[in-house]
Amino acid sequence: MTVRVQTQDFDVGFEISQLRTAHKDAGAVVSFVGQVRDVNEGDTVSQLTLEHYPGMTEKALEAIINQAASRWNIFDTLIIHRVGTLQPTDQIVLVAVSSAHRGDAFKACEFIMDYLKTEAPFWKKEVTPTGERWIEAKQTDDDARERWTK
Amino acid sequence: MTVRVQTQDFDVGFEISQLRTAHKDAGAVVSFVGQVRDVNEGDTVSQLTLEHYPGMTEKALEAIINQAASRWNIFDTLIIHRVGTLQPTDQIVLVAVSSAHRGDAFKACEFIMDYLKTEAPFWKKEVTPTGERWIEAKQTDDDARERWTK
Amino acid sequence: MKIKLFYFARLKETLKYSTEDLDVPDDVAKTLTILKLKAFLAKRGDVWGQMLMGKLKIRAAINHALVDDNAPITDGDEVAFFPPVTGG
Amino acid sequence: MKIKLFYFARLKETLKYSTEDLDVPDDVAKTLTILKLKAFLAKRGDVWGQMLMGKLKIRAAINHALVDDNAPITDGDEVAFFPPVTGG
C-alpha cells in the first residue's frame, strides 16, 4: 500500500507499471485518474486550489485502502493525491489497484474513489469569472458511497 | 473512439494522458491494464500466444464501445489489444474511458472488459512445464457479462 | 452457393485448416444455417465430427458478427467457427 | 482540560483561525462532546455561531478520525472542524 499527498505532478505510466510488475501473478490493474475540469456547474474554471488536513489525510486514505483490502482480493493499491494550486487539465489524483482477476480491482478502485470523495479531508476552491468559490460537496457522492453499505 | 490490435507494446501513460487532455471538461479517466500472469490454474506459465480473427476483431470491439456509449455518458474510449507471442508481465490489453464524472467511466470500462472477454475473437494459448495448452473460456466471464443484461 | 470458411484456435489446429472456399451442394445450400453447415462439414470424418458436432462448445460468426446455430447463411457469406473466446 | 483545534477551508477563512490551543473551562470540559464544543465556541460571536451552529453542514474529527456530534472529547485531543470534503 502506498499513499502520497504532494504538490508535484506524477507519472501515471510509471506508477501503473510499477504496481503491475510488482506481482507477476496479477492479471489486472484498474486505475482512476482525476483531472481539473475547465468547467463546473456551467462556469469556466481557470484555477483550482486543493487544501488538506496534513496528518489526517494519509491516515484516512490508508483506512479506506484497508477497508477495500478486507472486502476484495487485491494485491496492492496506490493513491497519489495532489494539493496546492492547479490549472485545468492538471492531474489531481491517481488510484490504482492490482489483483489476480479484474472484478476485484474494478470494485476496489471504485470503492476507494467513492470513499476518498466523502471521507478524505481535501477541500477544493475554484476560480471562475465571478471570483473564487469553495466547491460544495455533492449529494451524488454521498449516494455513491452509500451503495457500498448495502 | 480508437481501437488498435497490434503485436507491439504500448505506453499506458501516454495513452491515458492523450485521452484525458482531449476533453478539458473530462473529470475522470478509468483504465484497465491486463498483463500476462506467470501462473494459471496452478501451473507456471512461461509464454502466452494470442490469436485473433483479423477483420472481425476491430468490428467486435467497436460494437462493444458503441454499446457502452449508448448506456453511459462517456466522452471517449480507447482499446489496445496485443496479439502474437508474449511473456509473463507483458501488457496484453488497455481499455481507457474518459467521462465528466467517474461513475460513468467506471461502469463503461468494466462493461467493455466483460464484453471483450466474451465476444471479441481472441484466443490464448499458454506454455506450461507440461507443454502447450489452449486456455478454456471461464463461466465466471459469462456470468460477469450477464450482470449487464439485468 | 459459394461461401468462405475460417477456423481459429483449437479448431484450426485440429482440422488443419485455417480457411477454405466451399462450394455448397444445392441440396445443402437450401435454407442453410450454421447448424446445417456444421452437420455437413462433420461428415468429412472423425476429427470434423468431433470438433464441430461433439462435446466442444463452438461459436460461429457470419460476416464478422457472432451468430447462433439457427442463423441463415447466404451466397458469398464469410463464415467462421471457433471456440469460446479468451482474450483480454 | 487542554485541546488543540484546527479549522479548514471555508471555516478557516471565515473564522480567521487555522489552529488554536484551547483551555476548556471545567464546567464545559465535563462530558465534553463535539456538539458541546461547537455550542461553546459559537458563543464567541456572530460568525462563530453562523459557522458552527448555523445552516452550514460541519464535519468534525478527533485525533484524525471522523466523528459525529456525540463523540466524547478528552484532555489532549486534537479536534478539527471543516465542511464536507470535496477531494478526488
Average pLDDT over every residue of C65-72: 98
Q: Mean per-residue pLDDT for B90-117? A: 98
Question: What are the chain D neighbours of A116 within 8 Å (beta carbons)?
Answer: 87-88
Q: pLDDT below 50 — which residues of chain A?
A: none
Q: What CA–CA distances, in Å, run from D44 to B62, D48, D53, D57? A: 63, 6, 12, 19
pLDDT at A54 (0 to 100): 97
| Residues of chain C with C-beta less than 8 angstroms from the C-beta of B113 | 88
Alpha-carbon span D29 to C73, nearest angstrom: 85
C-alpha cell, D41: 465556541
Contacts of D88 in chain A (CB under 8 A): 34, 81, 92-93, 113, 116-117, 120, 122
How far is CA B44 from each of CA B41, B51, B95, D47, rounded to the nearest angstrom? Answer: 9, 21, 26, 67
Give me the sign of the Cα torsion angle D48, A125, A40, D84: negative
Select from B81, B118, B123 the Cβ nearest to the Cβ of C83: B123
pLDDT at C59 over 90: yes
* Cβ contact A103:B144 at 8 Å: yes
CB pairs A-B closer than 8 Å: 105
| Coil, helix or strand at residue D13 | helix
- pLDDT band of residue B109 (cuts 50, 70, 90) is very high
Q: Which residues of A touch D64 (CB under 8 A)?
A: 53, 55-56, 59-60
Segment B9-41, tens digit of pLDDT = 999 999 999 999 999 999 999 999 999 999 999
DSSP reduced 3-state for A129: coil
Other beta carbons within 10 Å of A3: 18
- In this prediction, residue B51 has a pLDDT band, given cuts at 50, 70 and 90, of very high
Subunits in contact with chain A (3 or more CB pairs closer than 8 Å): B, D
**Percent of the residues in chain A that have a pLDDT greater than 70, as a whole number:** 100
pLDDT on residue B132: 97
- Rounded average pLDDT over C21-45: 96
Answer yes or no: do B35 and A27 touch at CB < 8 A: yes
For C64, the grid coordinates are 464478422
The stretch C16-29 carries a mean pLDDT of 97
Residues of C in contact with B50 (CB under 8 A): 87
The C-alpha cell at C25 is 451442394
Please, how many CA atoms are within 13 Å of residue C62, restricted to the half-sphere of its CB? Answer: 17
> How many beta-carbon contacts under 8 Å exist across A and D?
73
Question: What phi and psi values does residue B29 have, to the nearest 5 degrees?
Answer: -125, 120
Residues D53-86: tens digit of each pLDDT: 999 999 999 999 999 999 999 999 999 999 999 9
C-beta of residue A14 within 8 angstroms of C-beta of residue A91: no
Q: Share the mean pLDDT of chain B.
A: 97
Say yes or no for a CB contact (<8 Å) between C84 and B116. no
Q: Does C88 touch chain B (CB under 8 A)?
A: yes
User: What was the pLDDT predicted at D16?
Assistant: 96
Is residue D46's pLDDT more than 90?
Answer: no
pLDDT score of C46: 86
Mutate to test the interface with A, among B21, B30, B146 (most CBs of A within 10 A): B30
Name residues whose C-beta falls within 8 Å of residue B112's C-beta, 6 or more positions apart in sequence: B64, B65, B68, B77, B79, B95, B97
Nearest CA in chain D to A124: D86
Helix, strand, coil percentages in chain D from 3-state DSSP, rounded to 5: 30, 30, 40
Read off the pLDDT of each residue in B61-68 and give the average, rounded to a whole number: 98
First to last CA, chain D: 36
What is the distance between the alpha carbons of residues C51 and C58, in angstroms, rounded to a whole number? 8
Amino acid identity of A95?
A: V
C-alpha cell at B131: 507443454
State the pTM of this model: 0.96
